[in-house]
Structure 1
């Protein structure tokens, strides 16, 4: 009976969380679709050069939100209400500080950042516009991520899901209105994206009005111990997002030399499909996290083991379905974003889709494992796994394989990196289990 209850709760949380994270991924995917239709290959290239910055902002929001919400769930399981309120308040403080840190370059050095990311004269103006407003909207992105994590972990996954989906749906509608009827170009795309998290935040207000929340903003100082918890437990979530940004920056630099702006535009399609796939895996992980943290706080190891098993099985099943769909429909998927019917772009992207997403099961396993370690307050193994897959392995592998096999080497970099990281993660997990540090 206990196992059935645990399974039912897991799939309820996971289903709602996946719907929500898919909604968030649509922020950029909608931009990609409408920009490709309204601004062509140059607009798509500019957008792809700017997207890594979104990964950093979203990663920062998830780091503070997931870190704070994980400790919140553990303390809630231990009935420590006073500490719960301090954790929430300090997490908001931290989110505000990070927002200011992102807004400053938005005001003063957007053009320099665009040049660093590889924008040339053909796409510089559009890239600068998108970057500037993306950075200025960072408070909305970060606060939305924090509130979504806390609301979900506070027993309201339905509300968190609705807020994410409605915010994202608003982005799609506003993208169309701003880019086509109002002809606002790339500024319209980022304006729609920036408004969406504001709508999501407003959607979550009922959690407070109905007095269902168990966390409150209280008068308290800035506690470095709580900040340390947020950063330590949330760091893998940051690295998971930053790794996407680092992969994109690295690939953009290499592809610009191999295939120019057309190659970057083709990679933009792949990168945005990757955002959706990673969002699904992140949704599964975020659905499992509140349960694992709660059972950890209660000392219920049997249920922790069940949730981890459900999460891995779900990810592997989803990976098989996702890769089959991408492999079979690679050409139609590319055509959707190839408004100019560019034959070279079509060829590069179709080949890339079929090779790049061999990584699917390995990436999913790595995300689940990193979230598992943070959920039971084992930050170090999660840090090691996240840094391996996001920074240490991907950069040298990309340059080596692209040197050996050109564009094919670029596409197989991600599967190779994720497979090596998965092997390392499995080894760390087994060694940790032998030492009795986990289940």
Structure 2
């Protein structure tokens, strides 16, 4: 950025320059909180879908890859969703998360193209604001000028607040405290920035100030932001407060934010609490989140504890989350357990999830297992899931199994499914097979 731009006489030039500066400063300050909030928003959206629909399964797989930070897998899934279900209600969300994953892979031009498509076709989408924010970030990395928006003044104020913290932390803290007093007209966005600046610049005062916001703020989103930020301080004083919150709160959003914050601490402190929440929290969503954060570590101790929970757990949703954890841990032992679940005689929905994650692996062992399991399986829902798994790989053995099913399976519905997925293959052998059927 050229410094003489600041002296241009027009307000637009000044605004564009300061907005770009705002972006560069805020990227480090708010990216972690924003990413967590957006993933929670994505998860809430997935929970509103009909999980039995084929489109929802593809979308959920993309969401899971985002959670695993498997950006290539997410790109593949969301591209597949957009191609297969162009009229689905989730198409705008898929466009945003496709762009997000491409952005993470440094495929900036492709990401920008998807965002432009989203904003042009779905200007009132719930993801439009997120798309505009990501578009600005991409523009800054590409060295493009950033168009000013109606939020310019607020962004300038945030830059000014950070500058105040850098020059005089005491005055910055006092300003943020006033923002949270009754009668303040500060926006939520401004307050979220203030919460992050407390963590970055507040030093010893950060923890008590964040706790005060958590206890007194009425806005649930701001309380969540403060709880998550409290966990990111790494301050041992915060740990017991977070444990108290997660055990006593009747608000799932608060409990989930506290679980996330606790997961940021070292495993010897966080794991006992997370295991307790996974076993006994009243909310299924809180239990699932505790399992999710435990699965970030692929240790044998975590795996053993999760399998003990699996063996005693009656709730199907919790069991399915443990199955996802096995895939996410991705160790030889956890993958072996995944195969055990798929081959067992447990709940069909849980076994279907295990089959799904095995299919996502796409290696020779997985394909061989799916083929053998299909022949031995009697449940049609399971067979349908195996067909889907076979369709997600480019392995010739999987393609030929789909052809065999399409030709000879006793079930008309399963034969139709095999033909459907063969039609989505780019393999010339699949195209020839379909032509032969039509003769």
Shared fold by TM > 0.5?
no
Larger radius of gyration, structure 1 or 2?
2
TM-score by length of 1: 0.28
Greater helix share, 1 or 2? Answer: 1
